Chain A
Amino acid sequence: EAGVAQSPRYKIIEKRQSVAFWCNPISGHATLYWYQQILGQGPKLLIQFQNNGVVDDSQLPKDRFSAERLKGVDSTLKIQPAKLEDSAVYLCASSTTAGLHTDTQYFGPGTRLTVL
């Protein structure tokens, strides 16, 4: 079974530029998550989708971050404009359709973003 795919793996941009990350979840997984992991910290949930609807985006900085999951499969996360403090690893995860808080989340390899 193929895992969660993410691209690009690394991205370096200057502040105030925009950037987009792509995620393809495990086939059949209805729930998709985007996390931000700052160096030395644990992953922090940014947004959760169930199919193509948003379940939780309470920690997404909506003035600069946006995410979409058209057709309920792939997802993109965008930052515009980027700030220095956005330097982090952006992790995508997916889980099955059970919708339970005990569902195992399967993570992709992440995109390491460096903002200069």
Chain B
Amino acid sequence: DQQVKQNSPSLSVQEGRISILNCDYTNSMFDYFLWYKKYPAEGPTFLISISSIKDKNEDGRFTVFLNKSAKHLSLHIVPSQPGDSAVYFCAASAYNYGQNFVFGPGTRLSVLP
């Protein structure tokens, strides 16, 4: 029973274009969402987060959008760079879950030069 879904296992984008990674969740109790990036042989690193009281959060080239009614969030990377090639995990947490992050299965992004 996957509470956090990333339905695209992989995505390829040309350098300089926009990358859009999608995430859907089923548990309406989730109120905090994060994106982590993972390079091979390294642990996941925090990228950006958003609280359910917002619908957008921006940090440089990275923007996360949250649509609570659709239980959907997306990560936009503009412009995409070859160094962005990695696996991106969406994660969610809820106040009554303590600090338990529930992760999606990840989307592998390849940015082509």
The reply to whether A45 and B49 form a contact with Cβ atoms under 8 Å apart is no
| In the complex, chain A residues whose CB is within 8 Å of the CB of B101 | 43, 45, 105
Residues 65-113 (chain B) with a chain A CB within 8 angstroms: 89, 91, 93-95, 97-101, 103-106
Q: How many A-B residue pairs have CB under 8 A?
A: 65
Chain A interface category by residue count: 20 to 34
- Interface size of B by Cβ–Cβ distance < 8 Å? 27
- Interface digits, A29-44 against B, CB 8 Å rule (1 contact, 0 not)? 0010100000011111
| In the complex, chain A residues whose CB is within 8 Å of the CB of B49 | 102, 104
Query: In the complex, which residue of chain B has the Cβ closest to the Cβ of A6?
Result: B43
The reply to whether B43 and A102 form a contact with Cβ atoms under 8 Å apart is no
The reply to whether A42 and B43 form a contact with Cβ atoms under 8 Å apart is no
The reply to whether A101 and B106 form a contact with Cβ atoms under 8 Å apart is no
Residues 8-65 (chain A) with a chain B CB within 8 angstroms: 9, 31, 33, 40-45, 48, 55-56
| In the complex, chain A residues whose CB is within 8 Å of the CB of B106 | 41-42
Alpha-carbon gap, A71 to B21, bound state (A): 41
| In the complex, chain B residues whose CB is within 8 Å of the CB of A93 | 43
The reply to whether A99 and B99 form a contact with Cβ atoms under 8 Å apart is yes
The reply to whether B45 and A102 form a contact with Cβ atoms under 8 Å apart is no
Residue among B34, B43, B46, B105 making CB contact with A108, cutoff 8 Å: B43
Residues of B within 8 A of A (CB): 4, 9, 32, 34, 36, 41-46, 49, 51, 89, 91, 93-95, 97-101, 103-106
8 examples of A-B residue contacts, CB within 8 angstroms: A41-B106, A42-B91, A93-B43, A101-B94, A101-B97, A101-B99, A109-B41, A110-B43
Known: A42-B89, A99-B99, A110-B43. 7 other contacts (CB 8 A): A9-B41, A33-B99, A41-B105, A42-B4, A43-B44, A43-B103, A56-B100
